[in-house]
C-alpha cells in the first residue's frame, strides 16, 4: 500500500476498528458518514464462514482485508495454559456495567447487541474503555489447550483514542442463563438493518462469571478487516448456558468462528 493510499484509507480503517468485530451494521453507519469517500464500496465486500468467501479467502476479497493474511498479531489464538506467563504486576480487570437498553441486530454474521449509552466501562491497568456492543460466536473462536468451548461472547470496548479492548467470555453447556432470554426471545432469524430494542434493561453483568481472572494478549479483530492493535482479555472461567440456548443460535448461525491464528512472537499473560 502506498503512503498516499494509506492517508486516504486510514480514517476508514479507524472507523472500521471502532465498529468492532462482527459489527457490519456499525461499519455501514460509519461508512455513511464518509459519503464522498471513494473507499465506501469496499466495505460492502461479502465475506462469510463458508466456501469461496470463508476465512482462508478473506484477504483475496478486498484490498482492505490484506491484514487477514499478512498480519503477525491475529486473533483468535489457541491459548496453551502451560505457556502462559503469570505476570505479578497485572491485576484483574475492573468491570462497571449497569443495566442498559440494548438493540439487537442480525448482521448476517452474528447476533449483536448495540448499546445506546456510554455508561458501561472496563478498566485495565489504569486505562478505561467504554462498551460499544457485544456479539456471539459458535463454537468459540479462542481455544484453550486445543479445545473449543461451545460458544464465545465478545464485549467490544473502545477507549478515548479509539483503541479497542475485547472482553471474551467462553460459554459451555450447562444451566440456563435467564438474563440471556431477554435477547434470545427476540433475535431476528433473518438479517435486518434496523435494530430491535429489547423491553426493559439488560444486565450484562449476568453474562459474566464471578471470577474475572483472565488471559491477556495483543491481537486483532476476528472479522475483516482483521485490524490489529486490539487488547484481548479472555476470561479463564466459562459461563454456562443451556443446550436449548446454544441450539437456538446454532439454528441461525451453524458456525461463525474464525480458525485460530499463529501466536508468533507474542506471549499470553495472566493476572493475579
Ligand atoms: Zn467477535
pLDDT in tens, 229-270: 999 999 999 999 999 999 999 999 999 999 999 999 999 999
Higher pLDDT, 1 or 268: 268
CA–CA separation, 227 vs 233, rounded Å? Answer: 17
Rounded to the nearest whole angstrom, what is the distance from the C-alpha of residue 21 to the centroid of ligand 1? 5
Confidence check: pLDDT of 17 > 60: no
Q: Exactly one of 109, 142, 154, 157 is catalytic; which is it?
A: 109
Closest CA to 67 of 124, 142, 17, 101: 17
Indicate the domain borders of the chain: 3-70, 78-270
83 C-alpha to ligand 1 centroid (Å): 24
Q: Sorting pLDDT into bands at 50, 70 and 90, what band is 1?
A: very low
HSE-up of 40 (CA within 13 Å, CB side)? 11
Q: What local confidence, expressed as pLDDT, does residue 43 receive?
A: 52
Query: How close is the Cα of 47 to the center of ligand 1, in Å?
Result: 14
68-91 per-residue burial string, b: 16 or more CB within 10 A, e: under 16: beebebbbbbbbeeeebeeeeebe
pLDDT value at residue 193 = 79
Average pLDDT of the chain to the nearest whole number: 87
Overall fold of domain 78-270? Carbonic Anhydrase II (3.10.200)
| Mean pLDDT, rounded, for 24-28 | 38
Residue pair 165/157 in contact (Cβ under 8 Å)? The answer is: yes
Once rounded to an integer, what is the mean pLDDT over residues 190-198? Answer: 88
- The pLDDT score that the predictor gives to residue 158 is 97
CA–CA distance, 167 with 116 (Å, rounded to integer):
19
Q: How far apart are CA 158 and CA 167, in angstroms?
A: 11
CA 191 to ligand 1 centroid distance, Å: 17
Task: Confirm whether 109 is a catalytic residue.
Answer: yes
Model confidence pLDDT, tens digit, residues 65-110: 999 999 999 999 999 999 999 999 999 999 999 999 999 999 999 9
Here the cell at position 50 is 463458508
CA of 207 to the centre of ligand 1 (A): 15
Amino acid at each position: 500500500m502506498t503512503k498516499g493510499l494509506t492517508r486516504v484509507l486510514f480514517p476508514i480503517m479507524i472507523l472500521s476498528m471502532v465498529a468492532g468485530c462482527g459489527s457490519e451494521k456499525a461499519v455501514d453507519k460509519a461508512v455513511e458518514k464518509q459519503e464522498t469517500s471513494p473507499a465506501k464500496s469496499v466495505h460492502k465486500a461479502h465475506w462469510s464462514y463458508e466456501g469461496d468467501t470463508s476465512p482462508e479467502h478473506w484477504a483475496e476479497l478486498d484490498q482492505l482485508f490484506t491484514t487477514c493474511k499478512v498480519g503477525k498479531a491475529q486473533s483468535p489464538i489457541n491459548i496453551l495454559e502451560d505457556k502462559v506467563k503469570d505476570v505479578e504486576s497485572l491485576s484483574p480487570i475492573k468491570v462497571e456495567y449497569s443495566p442498559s437498553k440494548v438493540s439487537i441486530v442480525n448482521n448476517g454474521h452474528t447476533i449483536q447487541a448495540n448499546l445506546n449509552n456510554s455508561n458501561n466501562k472496563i478498566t485495565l491497568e489504569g486505562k478505561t474503555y467504554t462498551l460499544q456492543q457485544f456479539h456471539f460466536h459458535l463454537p468459540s473462536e479462542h481455544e484453550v489447550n486445543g479445545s473449543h468451548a461451545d460458544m464465545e461472547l465478545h464485549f467490544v470496548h473502545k477507549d478515548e483514542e479509539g483503541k479497542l479492548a475485547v472482553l471474551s467470555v467462553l460459554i459451555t453447556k450447562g444451566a440456563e442463563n435467564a438474563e440471556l432470554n431477554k435477547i434470545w426471545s427476540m433475535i431476528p432469524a433473518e438479517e435486518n438493518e434496523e435494530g430491535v430494542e429489547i423491553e426493559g434493561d439488560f444486565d450484562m453483568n449476568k453474562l459474566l462469571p464471578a471470577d474475572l481472572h483472565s488471559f491477556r494478549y495483543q491481537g486483532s479483530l476476528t472479522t475483516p478487516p482483521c485490524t490489529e492493535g486490539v487488547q484481548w482479555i479472555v476470561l479463564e472461567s466459562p459461563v454456562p448456558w443451556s443446550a436449548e440456548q446454544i441450539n437456538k443460535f446454532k439454528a441461525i448461525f451453524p458456525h461463525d468462528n474464525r480458525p485460530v491464528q499463529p501466536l508468533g512472537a507474542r506471549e499470553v499473560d495472566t493476572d493475579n
